[in-house]
Chains A and B, each alone.
Chain A
Amino acid sequence: MTEWELIEQLKLKDEAAFKTIVYTWQNMVYNTVLGIVQSQEDAEDISQEVFVKVYESIKNFKGESKFSTWIYRIAVTQSLDHLRRKKRKKRFAFIESLFGKNDELVHDPPDFYHPGVQLENKESNTILFKAIASLSENQNTAFVLNKVEGLSYQQISEIMQTTESAVDSLLQRAKTNLRKNLENHYNKS
């Protein structure tokens, strides 16, 4: 069955087509989400939500971009929404604690390293992901798509709906900022 036939079947709410789509793209979605949200539990949850969104909004897919690009776009949007919600929650909890309404401490998430990295790189990878988390949303997304997913500038530009030169400049700035953050970290320790 071709990709287009799968999409047409999914538009008819065919369960077998949906199963094929989930099995084909689950690793790609999970990896992208994991790179952005940096938590395995959250990544699992968001990835499930991405496929529910795919099922529900397949009727809106017009075929103007590749199907994988469309799925990537949903995954990135969902991940960034999650990060924004988390930040808002953290800020709200902090304000509540100022007024004495919430005595619970807001814990920072435990150190994250990508589960696929080699054992000897675990420590430096943890530090790298901490630095990635401090990047702006766009730089974070571009860096994860390029370094974790290994996508080309052209693919990233299609997902982020921007130009290749904009992606290039985003990645340059991301690398510069990462260097600065890492330098600060290593100078402190």
Chain B
Amino acid sequence: MTRNAGFFTNPRLKYTTMIENKIEAALKSLDGAKGATPSPFFYAKVMGRLSRRQNTAWENFNAYISRPVVAFATICLIFIVNIIAVYSNSLQNTSAVAEQNEIASADEYTQVNNTFYDLENIKP
């Protein structure tokens, strides 16, 4: 009785109770809600999406090589192959220079004199 009298006379209490009721109503607004259903052609749409996804082999290959990991690994591989090629080339060059010098000096001391006349008149 005293409580009810307070409720009707105290506007602050009335306001708080009203807010409380609204909060409770919002929290209970999902009670008894029916489940929502997707559109009637849901399965057909899924199948359409799936068939668009099943790419050709070429598209799959493109997608695979455009992956960052694959691209980075390829660049690293090319870089390593290049370093190996340059290194082995520089090793070969030092031996090739020595060989060339040998050939040049050998040519210098050869007495063979090939002229156009010699080539035309080959003796049997």
Contacts and interface: CB of A to CB of B under 8 A. Distances in A.
A116 B34 contact: yes
A160 interface: no
Interface string A35-69: 00000100110011101100110000000000000
Nearest to A118: B32
Contacts of A115: 36
B33 interface: yes
B19 interface: yes
Interface size class of B (residues with CB under 8 A): 20 to 34
Nearest to B34: A116
The listed residue with most A CB atoms (<10 A of its CB), out of B33, B39, B43, B50, is B33
B53 interface: yes
A11 interface: no
A118 B25 CA distance: 12
A128 B42 contact: no
B50 to A, nearest CB: 5
Given A44-B39, A116-B36, A117-B33, A52 B22 contact: no
A19 interface: yes
Interface of B: 19, 22-23, 25-27, 29-30, 32-39, 42-43, 45-46, 49-50, 53
